[in-house]
Amino acid sequence: MTEIAVILNELTAVAAGVEKARNDAATACTVTEEEIRRTTAADWNASTEALSEVLEAVGRVESHLATVTVCINDAATCVDTGRTLPSLLDILANIIPAIDRLSAARDNIVAAIGQIDRAKTRVMRAKGGRPEHITTALDAVRTTLVSLGQRGGTVKQRVAAHINRLRNIGNPNANRQR
């Protein structure tokens, strides 16, 4: 398997992980909405307010994940298109932006983790109800996001190493002993 094929497979795996995180976030939304209905019915206004803030934070997580999806797809397009180009310079020009897209994906993953942590703090402010269900759902999202961040970092390193190898191919002095 070529290095490009390996990178594309890893990007596909990251995209699948993003989809899992999106599903986990949707579950967190559902659980939070159910708890909001319970606390509203019980007239626990402070809990309802705190849980509404949790719902907003999870909405921001979903927005960050949508951006991660776009970034991963863009990176995959850069890498995939790069393998069919005729010249080394064209290949490099096409693949190098994948690094920026993977960095943007990582930034959004980190921001999403921050939103999950803030949401968990807000859950703890909710009095009454059953916040453990929400905390469990948020933990699932966070675990997936941490794994995504690690895998995305690995892919970014692999892309950077591939770019460096391509640069060395194009530089006749790269392998010369001094």
Within 13 Å of residue 118, how many CA atoms lie on the same side as its CB? Answer: 16
Which tokens belong to 120? 């968990």
Q: Is residue 49 part of a domain?
A: yes
> So what's the pLDDT on residue 173?
57
Distance of alpha carbon 93 from alpha carbon 160, whole angstroms: 13
What is the extent of the structural domain holding 23? 3-169
Per-residue pLDDT tens over the stretch 117-127: 999 998 887 76
pLDDT tier for residue 175 given thresholds of 50, 70 and 90: low
Distance of alpha carbon 26 from alpha carbon 88, whole angstroms: 43
pLDDT of 164 > 90? The answer is yes
Nearest Cα neighbor of 116 from 47, 57, 56 is 57
Q: Is residue 46 part of a domain?
A: yes
Per-residue pLDDT tens over the stretch 85-100: 888 899 999 999 999 9
Nearest 10 degrees: Cα torsion 3, 6, 2, 100 = -40
Nearest Cα neighbor of 146 from 102, 106, 100, 104 is 106
Q: Is residue 175 part of a domain?
A: no
The identity of residue 3, as a single letter, is E
Q: Is residue 174 part of a domain?
A: no
Nearest Cα neighbor of 144 from 62, 74, 59, 70 is 62
Per-residue pLDDT tens over the stretch 133-162: 899 999 999 999 999 999 999 999 999 999
pLDDT of 178 > 50? The answer is no
Q: Is residue 104 part of a domain?
A: yes
> So what's the pLDDT on residue 154?
96
> So what's the pLDDT on residue 169?
85
pLDDT of 174 > 60? The answer is no
Nearest Cα neighbor of 160 from 106, 87, 86 is 106
Q: Is residue 128 part of a domain?
A: yes
CB 114 within 8 Å of CB 64: no
Q: Is residue 177 part of a domain?
A: no
> So what's the pLDDT on residue 49?
87
Distance of alpha carbon 127 from alpha carbon 133, whole angstroms: 14
Burial of 68 (C-beta count, 10 Å sphere; 0-12/13-18/19+): buried
Q: Is residue 116 part of a domain?
A: yes
> The domain spanning residue 113 has which CATH number?
1.20.120
Query: What number of residues does the chain have?
Result: 178
Per-residue pLDDT tens over the stretch 33-84: 998 898 888 878 888 888 999 999 999 999 999 999 999 999 999 999 988 8
Domain count, the chain: 1
> So what's the pLDDT on residue 129?
59
